[in-house]
A = this chain, B = another copy of it.
Amino acid sequence: DVKDCIIAYFRRSLQQGGGALSGKRALVTAGPTHEPMDPVRYIANRSSGQQGYAIANALADLGAEVTLISGPTTLRKPAGVAVQDCETALEMQALVAAMPVQDVAVCTAAVADWRPAQIVGQKIKKQSRDDVPAPLELVPNPDILADISAPSPSRPQLVIGFAAETENVEAHARAKRLRKGCDWIVANDVGENSDVMGGRENQITLITEQASEQWPRLDKNDVAQRLAALISERLSGKIDL
C-alpha cells in the first residue's frame, strides 16, 4: 500500500547515506520452519516470526540493506526489505548459502532441530480406529547458525543467534554461544507463563563473550530497536562487546 511505498522509498535513500547502518548489509532469518511428514502433515514450532520481522524493520530504519529469509508466518512483509520465503530448514539453508557476504547476520529463526527421516509421498492413511503408524524417525537438520558462524572469509563481522529456552535460560544460552561459534546470543525465556512465543513482548538476556545483560521486559519492537542500535555501535567500532 501507499504507506509501505513511502517507507520503502525513505529506507532506500537511507541506504545511500545518513543512517547509522548505511552501506551495511544485514541478513535476518525469522519464523519457524515446517518439516513435512507427508503431503498434509508437518512438524512446526510456536515461533511467530515477530521478533525477527521487527529486527529487519529496525535495521532497515538505520539504513542497512536488509535481506529477510523467512519461514512460514502470517506477518506483513517489511517495506524496503528483500524478503525470501521458505518452508523447511533445508530450504532456508540453501537461501542463506546463496547470499553475498553480509556485515551482520541476525539468526532469529526457530529452525527445527530435526525433520522426519522420510517424507511419505501420499497422505498416511489411518486404517482402523486404533491403528498407529510406526514411530516417527527424526534426522538432524543443518545447523544454519553454526554454519554462518564458522570461520571463513565470508563470515559476517557480527553473527547473532537467538536461544528460546524454557529453563536455565542463561546457562543454556552461554553454552549455545560457544557451541555455535556466534558472537552474541539473545536469550529469551519461553517458559509456560512467559507468553513470549506469539506474544507482543519479550524478556531478553544478551550474552556476549565478555558480558551478560538482562533487559527489562519490552515490546518486541523496542527490543529490535535496542538491538539494532547495539549492532550499529559494534559495526562502527564504538563498542567492543
- A41 interface contact, C-beta 8 A: yes
Could you give, for residues 135-147 of chain A, a 1 whenever the CB lies within 8 Å of some chain B CB and a 0 otherwise?
1111110010010
Q: Does A226 contact B (CB under 8 A)?
A: no
Question: How far is A165 from B125 in the complex, measured between Cα atoms in Å?
Answer: 9
Residue of B nearest to A43 (CB): B43
In the docked arrangement, what's the CA distance between A128 and B131, Å? 34
Q: Is the CB of A45 within 8 A of B42?
A: yes
Q: Is the CB of A44 within 8 A of B41?
A: yes
Interface residue SS majority, chain A: loop
- List the B residue with the shortest CB-CB distance to A116: B136
Given that A74-B74, A122-B166, A166-B123 are contacting pairs, would A197 and B40 also be in contact in the complex, using a CB cutoff of 8 Å? Answer: yes
Give residues 106-129 of A contacting B (CB, 8 Å). Answer: 110, 112-114, 122-126, 129
Per the bound structure, the CA–CA distance linking A137 and B137 in Å amounts to 9
**A39 on the interface (CB 8 Å rule)?**
yes
Q: Which residues of A contact B (CB under 8 A)?
A: 34, 37, 39-47, 74, 110, 112-114, 122-126, 129-140, 143, 146, 164-167, 172, 190-192, 197
25 sampled A-B residue pairs with Cβ under 8 A: A40-B45, A40-B46, A40-B164, A41-B44, A41-B45, A41-B46, A41-B112, A43-B44, A44-B44, A74-B74, A113-B124, A114-B126, A114-B132, A114-B133, A122-B166, A123-B167, A125-B172, A126-B140, A129-B146, A131-B140, A132-B140, A133-B138, A134-B135, A135-B135, A136-B138
4 extra interface residue pairs, beta carbon distance < 8 Å, beyond A114-B132, A126-B140: A42-B43, A123-B190, A131-B140, A135-B136
